[in-house]
Amino acid sequence: MSRPQPLSGFPELLPRQRIVEQQVVDHLRRAFELHGFANLQTRAVEPMDQLLRKGETSKEVYVLRRLQADVEGSDSGLGLHFDLTVPFARYVLENAGKLNFPFRRYQIQPCWRGERPQEGRYREFMQADIDIVDLGELPAHYEVEVALVIADALKDLPLPKMTMHVNNRKLSQGFYQGLGIRDTDEALRIIDKLDKIGPDAVTKLLVEEVDATVEQAEACLKLAAITAADTSFVDEVHALGVTNPLLEEGLTELAAVVDAAAKVAPGFVVADMKIARGLDYYTGTVYETVMEGYESLGSVCSGGRYDKLASDGKNTYPGVGLSIGVSRILVPLLNSGALNATREVPTCVLVALANEDERTTANVLAQRLRKRGIPTQVSPSAAKFGKQIKFADKRGIPFVLFANEEGTQIKDIRSGDQTTIDIDAWNPPAEDLHPTIVTAE
């Protein structure tokens, strides 16, 4: 059999890297639960008609099909979910009678998207989502809250500085309406491409696709250029001379988000009028987050408010949510060596073997340590002690335990210190009990 080749866009982590990912996920889980979010896990597949409701995604959906299935078989019309928002909307509709509203949930699961693989963009990737949905009406204060939850969840992780850029779709659409542009949804999608294609190309598209005049296109670009870490953006928008009720509503809602964030998480949230989010179901505040030094990755945490994504015809369940691209953040940092773990295994103590006849005794000693929460394994062979220590050192295991007639001794293989211990009382230093995340100096 020939040596297998890696599949582009499907990252697989090494043991040390996987430890980092697990600890980041555990940290996010704890942070979300501290804010009262309940955990959900939804199925990997959704009906295609549901997956295609979210905008320009038809070319990215992986279709599910058994190798020898009939075209009309039971699997036809299903695809792998490319995010966690569409599955969540479906879940709410199916279980509305069993849920208490407002309902707060978090999900941390893989997603699949058939896009061109590049750094930070993968075909299989992990996302961590939070959403708050309500029945009928969703108060605007939740648009403030989700941003603060993400700020809290990210602040204690060993990651580069994050900045969340926020805008409000009502603000942008109201501005376009005030200018006289009729197809505001298409205008939003075009403005969303500003960072990718530049102002000249955006102007050209606005003129060709939404029949904007050059003057109207220039006004759209002036709005998109406004950014502020405080509510001063309100006056800057007013200075452009456009009036519209929807614009004023969006300005008020966005100012509330920026003002609250400045008090609780200074420097984390910035108002940015060029943020549009090209997906057409967003209706209020929209969010995009960049990581300092890794701006080429694009947004690593995105989302927004949606009022009509979940509706059964009788009831509507508006919501607001944000999605952290766990893989988008971690894989580039791990591959560059910017993040690592102190060891590649959970093991804190290796029980050495003088000979194979002592394996049963060694297993008993290891179990006594495990009962007290100390990750322990027994040496795989009764090789020379030097080789057993080398085995531990190669994996980053900090301690080796020796047991003989003279008692039980523990050796810190980093310092070389070896002391006699009471195995039922000894504890490793707290920082050695489990592997931890370290950053490159």
Which one of 317, 340, 363 terminates a domain? Answer: 340
Same domain, yes or no: 177 and 208? yes
If you search the block for the tokens 């996010």, which residue do you land on?
28
CATH number at residue 364: 3.40.50.800
Same domain, yes or no: 290 and 377? no
Within a domain: 5: no
How far apart (Å, rounded) are the C-alpha atoms in residues 129 and 119? 21
Same domain, yes or no: 141 and 223? yes
Same domain, yes or no: 225 and 311? yes
Same domain, yes or no: 356 and 321? no
Single out the residue of 419, 422, 437 nearest to residue 372, CA to CA.
422
Cβ-based burial of 394 (10 A; exposed 0-12, middle 13-18, buried ≥19): exposed
Any known ligand binding at 84? yes
- Locate the DSSP E strands across 229-368: 269-272, 282-291, 301-306, 319-325, 339-341, 349-351
The domain of 386 spans: 349-424+431-439
How far does the chain reach from its first CA to its final CA, in angstroms?
Answer: 41
Any known ligand binding at 85? yes
8 Å CB contact between 285 and 305 = yes
Residue 278's pLDDT is 64
Same domain, yes or no: 320 and 370? no
- List of the chain residues with pLDDT < 50: none
If you search the block for the tokens 């002391």, which residue do you land on?
419
Residue 54's pLDDT is 56
Which one of 321, 340, 359 terminates a domain? Answer: 340
Any known ligand binding at 131? yes
**What 8-state DSSP symbol labels residue 118?**
B
Question: Which of helix, strand or coil describes residue 229?
Answer: coil
How far apart (Å, rounded) are the C-alpha atoms in residues 83 and 133? 17
Within a domain: 104: yes
Long-range contacts of 235-240 (CB under 8 A, 24+ apart): 237/171, 237/175, 237/273, 240/175
Any known ligand binding at 18? no
Same domain, yes or no: 333 and 354? no
Give the C-alpha distances (Å, rounded to integers) separating 256 from 232, 261, 284, 366. Answer: 12, 8, 12, 56
Within a domain: 7: no
Same domain, yes or no: 277 and 359? no
Residue 309's pLDDT is 79
Same domain, yes or no: 205 and 261? yes
Within a domain: 358: yes
Within a domain: 4: no
How far apart (Å, rounded) are the C-alpha atoms in residues 404 and 425? 18
Report how many domains make up the chain.
2
Same domain, yes or no: 361 and 320? no
8 Å CB contact between 153 and 26 = no
If you search the block for the tokens 């940290």, which residue do you land on?
27
If you search the block for the tokens 């694009």, which residue do you land on?
298
Within a domain: 230: yes
Phi, psi (rounded to 5 degrees) for 152: -70, -40
Ramachandran category for residue 407: left, alpha or beta (phi over 0 → left; psi -120 to 50 → alpha): left
Any known ligand binding at 277? yes
Residue 439, strand partner residues = 339
How far apart (Å, rounded) are the C-alpha atoms in residues 245 and 236? 17
Ramachandran category for residue 160: left, alpha or beta (phi over 0 → left; psi -120 to 50 → alpha): beta
Within a domain: 2: no
CATH number at residue 69: 3.30.930.10
Note if the pTM is more than 0.95: no
Phi, psi (rounded to 5 degrees) for 320: -145, 140
Cβ-based burial of 2 (10 A; exposed 0-12, middle 13-18, buried ≥19): exposed
Same domain, yes or no: 262 and 359? no
Residue 305's pLDDT is 95
Which one of 340, 373, 404 terminates a domain? Answer: 340
Burial 104-131 (b: 16+ CB within 10 A, else e): bbbbbbebbbbeebeebbbbbbbbbbbb
Same domain, yes or no: 393 and 281? no
For residue 324, give both structure tokens.
């952290």
Residue 6's pLDDT is 85
* Torsion angle in degrees (nearest 10) through CA of 132, 135, 136, 138: -20
